[in-house]
Amino acid sequence: MAHFSNAELAQAIADMIAIDLSMKEEFVDWLAGTVGGGPNTDGKYPLTDYLGESTLVTCPAQMEEDVDSEVTGAAGHATDAETAQTAAETAETNAETAQAAAEAAETASVSAKDASVSARADAISARQVAIAQATAAAADAVSTAADAVS
């Protein structure tokens, strides 16, 4: 068993009390810490364990801010998702309108083609009638000229 003098025991007790007070001060500083506070201005404060090892620990105020930021960020993402959904629905409506317009244009194109084919057929018929009439008129003219000569 080790023997300590009264002075050594008194010093050891004084050191333990000093360490305990220091740890309590660090704890109070950590507990009352502010957002962006601490030695590195990141909301982390040093806490020393009974072995004398210090660790930077995020204070409650910084933790709350971090959570609030995440919640706010999530709300922003929800708003972005709603905006994207509205845009997608608008795009779908526009696509349906464009499809209907394309189908109407296709129908009009087919109708125009049919009208063109019909007009061509009418023109061919009119040409044939005109040729027949011209041939008949020429034959009449030849016949009339022949009658006039004779």
Higher-pLDDT residue of 149, 42: 42
Say what percent of the chain tops pLDDT 70. Answer: 97
pLDDT above 70: residue 1: no
The residue-averaged pLDDT of 23-27 equals 94
Residue 64: in which H helix or E strand, if any? Answer: helix 60-149
Claim: this prediction has a pTM higher than 0.75? no
Give the strand pairing for 44-48 and 54-58: antiparallel
Average pLDDT over every residue of 57-77: 84
pLDDT, residue 14, reads 93
Residue 32 has φ and ψ, to the nearest 5°, of -95, 10
Q: What is the pLDDT of residue 10?
A: 92
Question: In this predicted structure, what is the pLDDT of residue 62?
Answer: 95
The answer to whether residues 46 and 54 touch, using CB atoms and an 8 Å cutoff, is yes
Residue 94 has pLDDT above 80, yes or no: yes
Structural tokens at position 96: 């349906």
| Six token digits for residue 28 | 């109070």
d(CA 119, CA 125): 10
Going by C-beta distance under 8 Å and a sequence separation of 6 or more, which residues neighbour residue 39? 45, 46, 56
Mean pLDDT of the 42-56 span: 92
Residue-wise pLDDT for 117-138, tens only, equals 999 999 999 999 999 999 998 8
Which of 26-35, 64-73, 124-133 is predicted with the least confidence, judged by mean pLDDT? 64-73
Average model confidence (pLDDT) across the chain: 89
Domain segments of the chain as ranges: 6-58
More confident residue, 118 or 142: 118
